Copies of this chain bind each other. A is one copy, B any other.
Amino acid sequence: MNKDTLIQFVQQVLPMSPARAEQLVAKFNAVKIDKNGYVLKAGAVCNAYYFIEKGIMRSYTYNLEGDEVTTAFYAEKSFASDLLSFFNRSPSREYIQTITDCETWSITYADMQESFHAMPDFREFGRLKLVNSYGILKERMLSMLQETAEQRYSDLISSSPEIFQHVPLKYIASYLGITDTSLSRIRKEFIRK
């Protein structure tokens, strides 16, 4: 594992010197999780914020009928966490599960608070990431409102092709808000075109 990936990521979000970036990520510790492992379980308070150096994760919850609903995919070189649970210190309603073996850099809530307090640019980084996550969610919300399932599928293929190499179709289906049967039909049509 190589912390440089994280350091470079931080610099990309908020330009700064490599030395400064290294200070910012000082409290992040290496954590490996095997495939199908859990980083967070519903009912628990999310106490860590993970930067995924290698691997893919997803978060999911259950609907009233008891079916799994995939709420997000977390690709390589991105952060995985339940922001609501993490920042509000409230029990999470979702599970975060590794889909492949994962190598991550993780920071606890307490350490993050400390870093927020000590380093204004870490604070700024945190706010940028939060606004960024908000933006991603809003984008997805909008796509649910104004696009067909097929368009959403097509968007996901182009934006995150790496997901399709590892993720079972049924996860993608519930992420798109449709059944795996429908997704199968959509794929068939899609390939035909």
Question: A residues bordering B, Cβ < 8 Å?
Answer: 61, 63-64, 69, 71, 83-84, 87-88, 123, 127, 130-131, 133-135, 137-138, 140-142, 144-147, 174-175, 177
Q: Per a CB cutoff under 8 Å, which of B123, B142, B177 touches A71?
A: B142
Which label, helix, strand, loop or mixed, suits the secondary structure of the A interface? helix
- Docked CA distance A135–B90 (Å): 12
With A61-B142, A146-B69 known as contacts, the answer to whether A137 contacts B137 (CB < 8 A) is yes
Closest 9 CB pairs of A and B: A63-B146, A144-B144, A87-B131, A145-B177, A84-B135, A137-B137, A134-B134, A69-B146, A141-B141
The listed residue (B63, B69, B84, B145) touching A134 by CB distance below 8 A is B84
Please measure, in the bound complex, the distance between the C-alpha atom of A138 and the C-alpha atom of B137, giving whole angstroms: 7
When distances are taken between beta carbons in the complex, the residues of chain B under 8 Å from A84 are: 131, 134-135, 138
Q: Which residue of B lies closest to A62 (CB)?
A: B146
Chain B residues with CB under 8 Å of A140's CB are 141
A66 and B99 CA atoms in complex are apart in Å by 39
Known interface pairs A127-B127, A133-B134. Does A146 touch B87 (Cβ–Cβ under 8 Å)?
Answer: no
Q: Is A64's CB under 8 angstroms from B146's CB?
A: yes
Determine how close the nearest CB of chain B comes to the CB of A133; give it in whole angstroms: 7
Residues of B contacting A88 in the complex (Cβ-Cβ under 8 angstroms):
131, 135
